[in-house]
Amino acid sequence: MSDQLHPGYEPESPCHYRRALEVVSSKWTVLVFYELEKGSKRYSELRKQIEGVTKKMLTQTLRQLERDGLVRRTVYPTVPPTVDYALTPLGLTLIEPMRMLHRWTEAHYDSVLQSRRAYDNEPAPEDAAEPDLAAEPD
Amino acid sequence: MSDQLHPGYEPESPCHYRRALEVVSSKWTVLVFYELEKGSKRYSELRKQIEGVTKKMLTQTLRQLERDGLVRRTVYPTVPPTVDYALTPLGLTLIEPMRMLHRWTEAHYDSVLQSRRAYDNEPAPEDAAEPDLAAEPD
DNA sequence: CAGAATCCGTGATGATACTG
DNA sequence: CAGTATCATCACGGATTCTG
């Protein structure tokens, strides 16, 4: 338990914007959420669905979500251990806000990418005399 | 190799959930957003409002937002440089989703904190026979 | 199967100093 | 005022090994 997901900048974030992200913004959290949205799943299930996640990070993410009361962990005392994860009622309330972000991305992510490309093509606006359109040849 | 603020797990996040966070989830991004929501501000203004941010991080955050097309940077050629930052129309569209998260936190953050405390008081559920209510006296 | 423990690289972040 | 540049740290996250 050496790894804590959230470093201790402050005991509690003063801003509600930050508090929300504090709960959600981990790399794998959203993906776990996305999977559990569809229903409860086993540990190995999650590992298969969430490509690229290591056991360590998956466990760590799930533990944090459990600690925050967003996910409930159920252990069945079978001979090979069986552990089931599901969203709690509290966790379910987060689905709506996350869907909002989801829809925003669907609607505007192209614009973001476009803006990034445009930005990356402008070398360095040291002298803003006249806009030079000859950025790159065709 | 050529990585900016976001680690290159993949060229572009396949999941819209993650894409949204890719844009928003930086530590200072939300705070900058929170300030610019009220109107355009100068660099030094932002530095004063956002406590604890260094010039480096503020610049880095603003540059990223500018690159993503969410913030517009305006330089006035005064003798002491004056730089103004404001949300773009695209940036404004992000306010709504972020408000959702904001409200979620206002409504449920107490539950999260409560859950954390409860979780931290349970030492180690090695044997889950019966729920022991005598965790620790007050 | 579902983790725990360990080692370790990398990169984000913070502090400081310099610039135009 | 509004940055840039450089350095140091340290937690995040990955890979591996061990366990019940």
Tell me the shortest Cα–Cα distance from A88 to chain B, in angstroms.
Answer: 12
Distance B10 CA to D11 C1' (A): 22
pLDDT at B135 over 90: no
Could you give the CA distance from residue A113 to residue B25 in angstroms, rounded to a whole number?
17
Residue B137 placed within a domain: no
- CATH number for the domain spanning A31: value is 1.10.10.10
- For residue A13, the model assigns a pLDDT of 61
Distance A44 CA to D16 C1' (A): 19
Residues in chain B with CB shorter than 8 Å from the CB of A103 are: 97
Could you give the CA distance from residue B97 to residue B94 in angstroms, rounded to a whole number?
6
Residue B42 placed within a domain: yes
Q: Which domain holds residue A94?
A: 16-120
Q: Phi-psi region for residue B72, left (φ > 0), alpha (ψ -120 to 50) or beta? A: beta
Q: B101 and A27: CB-CB below 8 Å?
A: no
- For residue B16, the model assigns a pLDDT of 80
Tens digit of pLDDT for each residue in B54-92?
999 999 999 999 999 999 999 999 999 999 999 999 999
Tens digit of pLDDT for each residue in A28-73?
888 898 899 999 999 999 999 998 999 999 999 999 999 999 999 9
Are A24 and A94 contacting, i.e. CB atoms less than 8 angstroms apart? yes
Residue B94 placed within a domain: yes
Could you give the CA distance from residue A66 to residue A87 in angstroms, rounded to a whole number?
9
- Interface subset of B 53-72, CB within 8 angstroms of A: 66-70
Give bridge partners of residue B85 from the DSSP assignment: B41, B73
**Structural domain count, chain A:** 1
**Of all nucleotides in the shown strands, which has a C1' nearest the CA of B73?**
D2
* Locus of tokens 């974030």: A13
Q: Which nucleotides of strand D lie under 7 Å from a protein CB?
A: 1-6, 10-17, 20
